[in-house]
């Protein structure tokens, strides 16, 4: 498997260098309610939660506030350190979701956001699911929500020109993204740019394979 260097992720992505901005941009107040509704729908007695790729711990902090015992793993030490300072009461550790073993199992395992998008081969994905299996027991629930571009294939439409554009404007930032499908490696390539001011040069431009 490839060695993923946390410093390279930090250098390539502004929000990984600025945890407060990470929280602001990636805030989703609905995911906690969705997870709780998911557990209720399956009549699961969820008390313990493991989040693989927990980032700044925001999701776990919300679940902890509802009485769950929460554990989070992330590859990036800076994000874990931020989570420890900002959200006391969580069990957090730096680890690679392909290889980490905590010696414990959980009622709910989650991976929400970009974490699985960094795994580009079947071997890496299989390793991640081995990690999920190692931390599960009979009845464990699994929720995965990863960010991918929408794709539609019809008889009249080819996916070669698959694109998605998203813009967000406010006083602090302007962001845009578009995605292209590369058939040979079967990857969606997302090109993203963010600006701190409407006419300022981009603070971030990079490409992520999904």
**Do 122 and 197 lie in a common domain?**
no
111 assigned to some structural domain: yes
197 assigned to some structural domain: yes
130 assigned to some structural domain: yes
Is 150 in contact with 120 (CB distance < 8 Å)? no
From residue 56, alpha-carbon distances to 24, 45, 81, 87 in Å are: 11, 26, 8, 9
Q: Which residue has the tokens 């300022």?
A: 200
**Do 122 and 23 lie in a common domain?**
yes
Burial of 202 (0-12, 13-18, 19+ CB in 10 A): middle
pLDDT in the model for residue 110: 95
pLDDT in the model for residue 23: 76
**Do 114 and 62 lie in a common domain?**
yes
Note the pTM of the prediction, 2 decimals.
0.69
pLDDT in the model for residue 178: 59
- Largest Cα–Cα distance of the chain, in whole Å? 54
31 assigned to some structural domain: yes
Is 205 in contact with 187 (CB distance < 8 Å)? no
Task: List strands edge to edge, sheet with 91-94.
Answer: 91-94, 69-74, 48-52, 106-113, 136-146
Which residue range forms the structural domain that includes residue 175?
Answer: 166-209
153 assigned to some structural domain: no
Number of domains composing the chain: 2
CATH number at residue 27: 3.40.50.150
pLDDT in the model for residue 3: 58
Distance CA 113, CA 18 (A): 17
**Do 125 and 192 lie in a common domain?**
no
Distance CA 140, CA 163 (A): 36
User: What does each of the 210 residues of the chain score in pLDDT, given as a tens digit?
Assistant: 655 555 556 666 666 777 777 777 666 667 888 888 888 888 788 999 999 999 899 999 999 999 999 999 999 888 999 999 999 999 999 999 999 999 999 999 999 887 888 887 889 999 999 999 999 999 999 999 876 544 434 333 333 333 333 344 444 455 555 556 555 555 556 666 655 555 555 554 444 444
**Do 101 and 14 lie in a common domain?**
yes
């Amino acid at each position: 498997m490839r060695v993923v260097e946390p410093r390279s992720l930090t250098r390539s992505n502004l929000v990984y260098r600025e945890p407060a901005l990470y929280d602001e941009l990636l805030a989703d107040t609905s995911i906690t309610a969705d997870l709780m509704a998911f557990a209720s729908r399956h009549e699961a007695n969820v008390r313990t939660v493991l989040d693989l790729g927990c980032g700044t711990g925001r999701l776990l902090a919300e679940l902890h506030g509802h009485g769950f015992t929460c554990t989070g793993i992330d590859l990036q030490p800076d994000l874990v350190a931020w989570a420890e300072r900002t959200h006391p009461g969580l069990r957090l550790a730096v680890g690679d979701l392909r290889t980490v073993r905590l010696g414990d199992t959980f009622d709910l395992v989650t991976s929400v956001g970009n974490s699985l998008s960094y795994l580009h081969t079947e071997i890496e994905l299989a390793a991640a699911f081995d990690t999920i299996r190692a931390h599960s027991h009979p009845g464990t629930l699994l929720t995965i929500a990863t960010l991918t571009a929408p794709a539609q294939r019809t008889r009249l439409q080819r996916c070669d020109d698959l694109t998605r554009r998203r813009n967000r404007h406010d006083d602090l930032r302007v962001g845009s993204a578009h995605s292209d499908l590369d058939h040979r490696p079967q990857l969606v390539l997302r090109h993203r740019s963010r600006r701190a001011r409407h006419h300022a040069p981009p603070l971030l431009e990079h490409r992520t394979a999904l």
